[in-house]
Amino acid sequence: MPPAVVLVTGVSRWLGGALAAELAADPAIGRVIGVDTVPPSPTMLRRLGRTEFVRADIRNPLIGKVIAAASVDTVVHMNISSTPAGSGGRAPMKELNVIGTMQLLAACQRAPSVRRFVLKSTSAVYGASSRDPAVFTEKMQARRVPSGGFAKDSLDIEGYVRAFARRRPEVEVALLRFTNFIGPRIDSLLTGFFRMPVVPTALGYDARVQLLHEDDALAVLARATTGPFVGTVNVGGEGTLLLSQAIRRLGRVQLPIPSPALGSIGRFSRRFGFVDYSPEQMRFLNFGRVVDTTVLRTEFGYTPRYTTTAALEDYARTLEPVVSPRLVESTASQLRSALARVGDTATAVGERLHPTPPSPGLRAVRDA
């Protein structure tokens, strides 16, 4: 049975607004209410259709009055900031993420009309370290627990949501752990990273990256809002790429530098709001992270349309390459061939200068 009244937080961002618009286009849903602290852009406001926008702060207990007055039965929580720059600093970011979620859950707990709660979480809760498994399943925990930033906030938020589920066991709770978003329209940590013409990376590391296209993210959120799934699910595209491969395919220039110097660049970048090189993000760029999506395909019932490679290619259409990817691949191929020839030549010279003496058995056969 489709929900009667859906409340979506964070509709001023692209993904939240796109979800509200998608739900509003469904005639089976009675009302869609979009909540955010700032109004959507004029373009997004037009796209929202019959969505009722309410300018409200989820950190304020008044959010409870919005839920109660509209008899909301489904809440989709997406107003979670991933960067300090987008929230005015680390303290406001934590307040919005953690305190805001606590207030929202308290409002849902008091509202008897609420029957379903969907959380947009992140695979960053698994952390990133050299001891990580090849893939993370939903039952696994971080080998190195995130100590701060967006990942730590997300861990705390998931804990509060699970506590809410225990207090209101009749409420269906779906917890979606997304990998990194990418696409022509969405603005994420990774898209900001890839937009830089010269991309600093840690010398000696080459992380595995798993991406999710914005269209697949939207489809999963819509299905989680209207469908019956309950529990935790990893959401990511099929396949992985090495960070160096992704940078080359986007026509960017990779600049490997020692980790201490990268830390200094990260502090400078965060201060001036360029790219979030937080410690958690730097660990991800060093070690990467890959999740298992079996539950997504078998239990949740969705197979992403875009693989990791296809999602990156679609995003690449929005970028003007600094260096042609074909030129980079051609040069790399020529360099590999040249190195192979040098290696073969060195081996041949070595064999002529230091011929391998025949074995005793072979000498005996020759003497005979």
Stretches where the chain sits below pLDDT 50 are: 272, 362, 364-366, 368
End-to-end CA distance of the chain: 92
pLDDT, position 183: 96
| pLDDT for residue 81 | 81
Q: Which amino acid is at 8?
A: V
pLDDT at 2: 86
What pLDDT sits at residue 235? 98
The pLDDT, as a whole number, for residue 131 is 94
Res 54: pLDDT: 95
Strand partners, 209: 241
